[in-house]
Structure 1
Amino acid sequence: MAGNSNSGRSGKPAALHILQGNRSKKNFDELIAEVKQPTVPVDAPPMPDILSDDAAAEWERVIPDLIALGLVSRLDLLALATYCQAYGDWLKYQRLIAKRNRESDDELAGDVQTFKTGAQQMHVLRQLANDAEKRANSAGAAFGFSPMARRNMKTAMQPQGELFPNEQRDAADRYFN
């Protein structure tokens, strides 16, 4: 047997096929039809009230673009909240590291912890910041928030006219107006 349902690469949404130039030569009319009638409705999930202020600001920043690209639905609550909270945590720890570095004579006080014995290790704030960065990169990859996740989406940055149906643009307008 050649494999099972878990074998090979996972499929791409039709919108990404169109944005990336449809190298797989799928039927263009079928791709357009899939974009116009997505299997999951394009809409913003409700923002969780437990997000930190920085995470909530990130949520508000990314939602319009995700709606316009058709990459978010109400089902994506956990993935989007995970990304936004990890981003908010990363900002918090980076600010604490910068504050420690400014207030200390040692310019690496927030990066390196020195013990009484003279032994050194990475400061706990740096460890927490690195962990938050990994969590944000991992969760954000699902939405194309890293260069590697969108490495083939260069055409998305160039104006191409009307790529997405009016319903998605209207959903974005409803969310922010």
Structure 2
Amino acid sequence: MGSRGTKPKPTALKVLHGDRSDRINDAEPMPPEGEIVPPGDLSDDARATWDRLAPSLIAVGVLTPWDVDAFVVVCEALARYKQATKLVNGSALLVQGPNGFVKNPALTVQREAESTFAQYGARFGLTPSDRTQLKVDVGGAAKGPGAERLLS
């Protein structure tokens, strides 16, 4: 399996770092502004996560209308993790299987939910190390044309 290399630097960082103009996409699509609402089919635990995290992510511009589906994955992954953890905590690491003891299947669900959260949560800066990779607009300035809008 070959190496994928590093992720591309976000356009806003290229502008900020003074990269050559031919390496800056000044026509990068920007999500429209608008109300960001949770989908009605979120599980109860996922909705609780949405209600806890979404307002602050929206406030700093990390969660936009285009990001709702990816954020739903984060919320549902945390819901599955919470449910699997309850099962593990109420049971044992090993459970009786048809041919003897086996690893509790809830551990697999828990691990998969952890992995999904790590992958998708990073996109929203949901851990301290993930946040080091994000730049957000804390000034609330109006967006300008071209790549300059990325710095406001």
> Same fold by TM (over 0.5)?
yes
Which runs of structure 2 are paired with 1:128-139 in the superposition (5 Å)?
Answer: 128-139=109-120
- Counterpart residue type for residue 91 of structure 1: K
SS in 2 for 1:113: strand
CA contact (8 A) 1:42 1:72 kept: no
Q: CA 1:164/1:48 → structure 2, altered by over 3 Å: closer, same or farther?
A: same
Displacement of 1:7 after TM fit?
7.8
Number of equivalent positions: 131
**What amino acid does structure 2 have at the position aligned with 1:71?**
V
Alpha-carbon contact 1:68-1:164 (below 8 Å) kept: no
Distance in 1 between residues matched to 2:130 and 2:34, nearest whole Å: 21
Provide the aligned C-alpha RMSD in A: 3.3
Larger Rg: 1
The answer to whether the Cα contact below 8 Å between 1:44 and 1:67 also exists between their aligned partners in 2 is no
1:166 and 1:64 mapped to 2: Cα distance?
Answer: 19
- Offset from partner CA, 1:16-38 (integer Å, 9 cap, x none): x4xxxx9x6339xxxxxx9xxx9
Residue 85, structure 1, aligned to residue 66, structure 2? no
2:9 is matched with 11
Equivalent pair of 2:88/2:104 in contact (CA under 8 Å): no
2:131 alignment partner, one of 130, 134, 150:
150
1:113 aligned onto 2:95: yes
TM-score relative to the length of structure 2? 0.68
TM-score, reference length from structure 1: 0.60
8 Å CA contact 1:80–1:139 kept in 2: the answer is yes
Q: Does 1:97 align with 2:88?
A: yes
Return 5+ residue gaps in structure 2 as ranges.
Answer: 20-25, 143-152
Q: How many Å separate the matches in 2 of 1:8 and 1:89? A: 30
Q: Give the 5 Å matches for 1:15-94.
A: 17=13, 25-26=17-18, 39-43=30-34, 45-94=36-85
Match of 2:150 in 1: none
Query: How big is each residue's C-alpha offset from its partner over 1:24-81, in whole Å with a ceiling of 9 and x where there is no partner?
Result: 6339xxxxxx9xxx92235553211111111101111111221222112111121000
